[in-house]
Amino acid sequence: MANMKEIARMAGVSLGTVSHVLNRSAPVREPLRRRVEEAVQAAGYQPSALARGLRRDKTNMIGMVIPDVTNPFFPAVVRGAEDTAFANGYRLVLCNTDNDHSKELVHLNELRTYLPSGLIVIPSDFSDLTRQAESYQRSGAAVVCVDRLPRRWHGDSVTAANEQGAHAATRYLIQLGHRRIAAITGPLHLTNSEQRLRGFRRAMAEADLPIAPEYLQESSFDLAGGRSRALLLLRMLPRPTAIFGGNDMIAMGVLQAIRELGLRCPEDVSVMGFDDLDFAALINPPLASVLQPGYQLGATAARILLDRVHGDGGPARHIVLPTELRIRESVAPPRASEAGAGKTRAGGARAAGRTTPRSRKKQ
Amino acid sequence: MANMKEIARMAGVSLGTVSHVLNRSAPVREPLRRRVEEAVQAAGYQPSALARGLRRDKTNMIGMVIPDVTNPFFPAVVRGAEDTAFANGYRLVLCNTDNDHSKELVHLNELRTYLPSGLIVIPSDFSDLTRQAESYQRSGAAVVCVDRLPRRWHGDSVTAANEQGAHAATRYLIQLGHRRIAAITGPLHLTNSEQRLRGFRRAMAEADLPIAPEYLQESSFDLAGGRSRALLLLRMLPRPTAIFGGNDMIAMGVLQAIRELGLRCPEDVSVMGFDDLDFAALINPPLASVLQPGYQLGATAARILLDRVHGDGGPARHIVLPTELRIRESVAPPRASEAGAGKTRAGGARAAGRTTPRSRKKQ
DNA sequence: AGGGGAGAATGAAAGCATTCAATCCAATGC
DNA sequence: GCATTGGATTGAATGCTTTCATTCTCCCCT
């Protein structure tokens, strides 16, 4: 492919002029500009992204570092980021960390050599991002943190309203009449898990409901963890009438455990998830959940990053996107014999969440 | 960050020597080599990927062009490719085309300016990849096609055994005693859809079963399409006793339609999917499906690409990875009154597929 | 008509690593 | 002991674009 010198020769102008036409970095008078544009057309010339990046000390790449694309929640975040980046001429380099902070470190170090404009990171467990980000920022690259934060993070971040979401979900269960509500949280060293737990606790406290310590189980964010903790919970006496899962995978595990024990959802146990993954509405019974706007999370992170690239030097922004309760058939009032004494039967609760159909997958 | 000249100065050697130490491109005697390595350490030096790529006319990036990460089948492919690429020092630039060939074209053109080592592409509808790939290959970049092929594709490819998979699935339904089997295919301009249909037809032909034309429905690869086609099929008289979906999303739509009409699966209608997405085993009833090795698809594509980069100039490779039947509760023999006259009740059929638990998601 | 100045165009330098032809050295062979 | 050979080392050239100091034009004003 032709290079810029070639174009300059063809158009009979200097290198600088070609560059100025290409980048609008200086006014170029009509006749020259036209000649350059025609030469570019004729040669099918495209500037080398490498040479450009080398010279400018910055490329239009954005490093996207996430635990695992294969995890059903993350693709939406990636897609949101990619769309926004793409629309602005930026490209995403995708890195999976498997939640391993040493693998994350490798990616972070490697990525630097490409001089990306910035990084969008969903931190791994025990991430060292805070320190790494400093060196990026020193070299003018922006770093935005998404979904969960590493310890001591003070930079830009975009997260979901985990606490509110969990609070609303728990409150809904309480309004339905549940009193013995258990929770299976995700790993509590993750800020999002911890926030969800806090929301759960707050709702329970506000209703003056005690939380039996054994009703609080910590699990990994997966189906197996949810299932095993649910098996424990479901065998306790008295048995909880509702279980709040730290995410939808956990909730799926709960549903599985319920089936295995010959119990029924929602008749015997109500189940609430978190994330509202696509399949939540599709399973049987449809899973009530707290919608987390994955796409928006990614898109917003990219937006902030681009603002930084374009010179926004303001203080760190901490965007918290609203969550939304999606009520579905996996939650129902407890059996009459179980209903909280004196509690009304969730008169207004039904209005708290609406079920909106979602489906737009194509292959 | 320091550059190579700096390192050369620190180590008291020439630029060339530093380069040779870094790339093992020529032997360097111990004392010098040590001095260079120490200088690299001390300065925390990392070569600039941009300068390197510029000089070598090739970077260690791989363009990964897919329809949509958000589509549940693709993340596994991406992950397979990323793992293999990463293990060999390559990085993935992710591009979503939304199945739009003009968007694909934009990506393909843009990507070129990064001088990637190659491209892994799941072609969009009506992709112009065949032509684009030529120009890549001329410049020494490899292009590998995955999952489906654009028209007239003669380059490297990695696909699943779509025909065999569909054949095995259909044969299984037949062996269960079904005779009126309908199929809802994906878009038939996609090679994978078409191959699955061919497998379906072959199995039916081999059993001397006719296929009523109205039992063959074409749909988009999504839930809505599957649902609407299923509603048509389920209202036909005689009603099919089994429906084979072109992928799992379509099959999900079928299940939904069945429920809506007050029918039951598998008692009234058996349902078979294709892909074996993670949720297939988790829904109710668990969905029988044809496992497509998404991760392997991606990993193999990356493997081939790397071989090409390392100089494999052999003829185009067309890898076809085996699919595997996953029998689950969504399929069962038809009601006794429906069973094909003279057909045995699928004695050996049960052995044809085994259900293996799969779950390893973490967040 | 001459001087000044704004705007346009130029081209060399910079940014960084790789490669190759040339040089250097030591050891081997005769 | 000298020439030859092969391996080790060097440094200039290269790839491509952006930037900036400089030069050039042309117009306006006095």
CATH code where residue A83 lies: 3.40.50.2300
- What are the distances in angstroms from CA A56 to CA A28, A50, A51, A59, B50? 21, 10, 8, 8, 11
3-class DSSP state of B154? coil
Q: Which residues of A touch B256 (CB under 8 A)?
A: 282
Q: Of B175, B210, B124, B361, whose CA–CA distance to A247 is shortest? A: B361
* Domain annotation covers residue A139: yes
- Give the Cα separation of B135 and B308 in Å (integer): 16
The answer to whether A115 contacts chain B (CB < 8 Å) is yes
Alpha-helical segments (H) within B98-212: 101-112, 129-138, 162-176, 191-206
Same domain flag for B78 and B187: no
Write the DSSP assignment of B184-241 as a string of letters.
Answer: EE--TTSHHHHHHHHHHHHHHHHTT----GGGEEE--SSHHHHHHHHHHHHHSSSPPS
Residue B205 is encoded by which pair of tokens? 């032909």
**Residue B359 and residue A223: Cβ atoms within 8 Å?**
yes
* Domain annotation covers residue B358: no
Residue B13 is encoded by which pair of tokens? 């050697």
**Confidence at residue B342, expressed as pLDDT on a 0 to 100 scale:** 38
**CB B52 within 7 Å, strand C:** yes
Structural domain count of chain B: 3
**Confidence at residue A2, expressed as pLDDT on a 0 to 100 scale:** 87
Q: Which residues of B touch A221 (CB under 8 A)?
A: 361-363
**Residue A112 and residue B46: Cβ atoms within 8 Å?**
yes
Same domain flag for A278 and A169: yes
Same domain flag for B76 and B210: no
* Domain annotation covers residue A265: yes
Average pLDDT over residues B271-293: 94
Provide, in whole angstroms, the distance separating residue A297's CA from nucleotide D30's C1': 65
Residue B288 is encoded by which pair of tokens? 């029988």
Measured from the Cβ of residue B262, the count of other Cβ atoms closer than 10 Å reads: 7
Is pLDDT of B215 > 90? yes
Provide, in whole angstroms, the distance separating residue A117's CA from nucleotide C10's C1': 31
**Residue B362 and residue A47: Cβ atoms within 8 Å?**
no
The answer to whether A226 contacts chain B (CB < 8 Å) is no
- What are the distances in angstroms from CA A105 to CA A61, A123, A171? 18, 10, 40
* Domain annotation covers residue B357: no
The answer to whether A166 contacts chain B (CB < 8 Å) is no
Whether the CB-CB separation of B116 and B141 falls below 8 Å is answered with: yes
3-class DSSP state of B46? coil
Is pLDDT of B277 > 80? yes
- Give the Cα separation of A166 and B4 in Å (integer): 53
Chain A, 130 to 149: residues with Cβ < 8 Å from chain B are: 139
Query: Which residue of B lies nearest to A136 if distances are taken between CA atoms?
Result: B1
pLDDT confidence of B344, banded at 50, 70, 90? very low
**Confidence at residue A170, expressed as pLDDT on a 0 to 100 scale:** 98
Residue B297's H or E segment, with its range, is helix B294-309
Cβ contacts of residue B341 below 8 Å, gap of 6+? none
Residue A133 is encoded by which pair of tokens? 């980000």
Chain B, 236 to 295: residues with Cβ < 8 Å from chain A are: 247, 249, 252, 256, 259, 278-279, 282-284, 295
Burial of residue B33 (number of CB atoms within 10 Å: 0-12, 13-18, 19+): middle
| Greatest Cα-to-Cα distance within chain A, rounded to the nearest angstrom | 91
Average pLDDT over residues B109-119: 96
Chain B, 34 to 63: residues with Cβ < 8 Å from chain A are: 46-51, 53-54, 59, 61
**Chain C: nucleotides under 7 Å from a protein CB?**
7-21
Q: Of A176, A162, A174, A329, whose CA–CA distance to A246 is shortest? A: A162
Same domain flag for A178 and A257: yes
- What are the distances in angstroms from CA B259 to CA A252, B230, B255, B256? 20, 11, 6, 5
Same domain flag for A139 and A173: no
Cα A359 to its chain centre, rounded Å, is 19
Strand runs labelled E in chain B: 61-66, 91-96, 118-121, 142-146, 156-160, 181-185, 216-218, 242-245, 270-272, 289-291, 318-321, 324-326
* Domain annotation covers residue B35: yes
Q: Of A362, A322, A337, A319, whose CA–CA distance to A155 is shortest? A: A319
Phi/psi at A289 (nearest 5 deg)?
-160, 170
Q: Which residues of A touch B249 (CB under 8 A)?
A: 361, 363
Average pLDDT over residues B228-257: 96
**Confidence at residue B128, expressed as pLDDT on a 0 to 100 scale:** 93
Residue B294 C-alpha, separation from nearest chain A C-alpha, in angstroms: 11
**Residue A279 and residue B284: Cβ atoms within 8 Å?**
no
Phi/psi at A192 (nearest 5 deg)?
-65, -40
Phi/psi at A166 (nearest 5 deg)?
-65, -35
The answer to whether B205 contacts chain A (CB < 8 Å) is no
* Domain annotation covers residue A198: yes
**CB A56 within 7 Å, strand D:** yes
- Give the Cα separation of A210 and A151 in Å (integer): 30
Instruction: Annotate chain A with three-state secondary structure.
Output: CCCHHHHHHHHCCCHHHHHHHHHCCCCCCHHHHHHHHHHHHHHCCCCCHHHHHHHHCCCCEEEEEECCCCCCCHHHHHHHHHHHHHHCCCEEEEEECCCCHHHHHHHHHHHHCCCCCEEEECCCCCCCHHHHHHHHHHCCCEEEEECCCCCCCCCEEEEECHHHHHHHHHHHHHHHCCCCEEEEECCCCCHHHHHHHHHHHHHHHHCCCCCCHHHEEECCCCHHHHHHHHHHHHCCCCCCCEEEECCHHHHHHHHHHHHHCCCCCCCCCEEECCECCHHHHCCCCCCEEEECCHHHHHHHHHHHHHHHHCCCCCCCCEEEECCEEECCCCCCCCCHHHCCCCCCCCCCHHHHCCCCCCCCCCC
Same domain flag for A243 and A337: yes
Same domain flag for B313 and B214: no
Provide, in whole angstroms, the distance separating residue A51's CA from nucleotide D26's C1': 35
- Give the Cα separation of A94 and B115 in Å (integer): 17
Cβ contacts of residue A332 below 8 Å, gap of 6+? A176, A266, A267, A270
**Confidence at residue B113, expressed as pLDDT on a 0 to 100 scale:** 95
- Give the Cα separation of A327 and A287 in Å (integer): 8
Residue A213 is encoded by which pair of tokens? 């310590």
**Confidence at residue A339, expressed as pLDDT on a 0 to 100 scale:** 57
Query: Which nucleotide has the least CA–C1' distance to A54?
Result: C15
- Give the Cα separation of A220 and A214 in Å (integer): 17
Same domain flag for A267 and A190: yes
Q: Residues for chain A: how many in total?
A: 363
**CB B26 within 7 Å, strand D:** yes
**Confidence at residue B282, expressed as pLDDT on a 0 to 100 scale:** 86
- Give the Cα separation of A93 and A70 in Å (integer): 16
Q: Distance between terminal CA atoms of chain A?
A: 35
Strands A142-146 and A118-121: parallel
Same domain flag for A283 and A339: yes
Whether the CB-CB separation of A280 and A287 falls below 8 Å is answered with: yes
Per-residue pLDDT of chain A (363 residues; tens, 9 = 90+): 789 999 999 999 999 999 999 999 888 998 899 999 999 999 999 999 999 999 999 999 999 999 999 999 999 999 999 999 999 999 999 999 999 999 999 999 999 999 999 999 999 999 999 999 999 999 999 999 999 999 899 999 999 999 999 999 999 999 999 999 999 999 999 999 999 999 999 999 999 999 999 999 999 999 999 999 999 999 999 999 999 999 999 999 999 999 999 999 999 999 999 999 998 998 889 999 999 999 999 999 999 999 999 989 899 999 999 999 999 999 999 988 765 543 444 444 443 434 344 444 334
Q: Which residues of B touch A184 (CB under 8 A)?
A: none
Q: Distance between terminal CA atoms of chain B?
A: 35
Mean pLDDT, chain B, rounded, equals 92
**Residue A113 and residue B48: Cβ atoms within 8 Å?**
yes
Residue B96, domain extent: 56-154+295-321
Any idea which residue has 């979900």 for tokens? Answer: A169
- Give the Cα separation of B194 and B125 in Å (integer): 13
pLDDT digits (tens, 9 = 90+) for B74-85: 999 999 999 999
Residue A281 C-alpha, separation from nearest chain B C-alpha, in angstroms: 11
Of B72, B95, B112, the CB nearest to A46: B112
Query: Which residue of B lies nearest to A78 if distances are taken between CA atoms?
Result: B69
Residue B29: HSE in the Cβ half-sphere, 13 Å Cα cutoff: 2
* Domain annotation covers residue B116: yes
Same domain flag for B317 and B331: no
**Confidence at residue A307, expressed as pLDDT on a 0 to 100 scale:** 96
Of B67, B70, B362, the CB nearest to A75: B70
Same domain flag for B213 and B335: yes
- Give the Cα separation of B40 and A264 in Å (integer): 64
Same domain flag for A262 and A186: yes
- Give the Cα separation of B102 and B323 in Å (integer): 32
Q: Which residues of B touch A51 (CB under 8 A)?
A: 54
- Give the Cα separation of B302 and B89 in Å (integer): 12
**Chain D: nucleotides under 7 Å from a protein CB?**
7-21
**CB A55 within 7 Å, strand C:** yes
**Residue A223 and residue B91: Cβ atoms within 8 Å?**
no
**Residue A69 and residue B61: Cβ atoms within 8 Å?**
no
Whether the CB-CB separation of B102 and B63 falls below 8 Å is answered with: no
**Residue B75 and residue A73: Cβ atoms within 8 Å?**
no
* Domain annotation covers residue B74: yes
pTM: 0.91
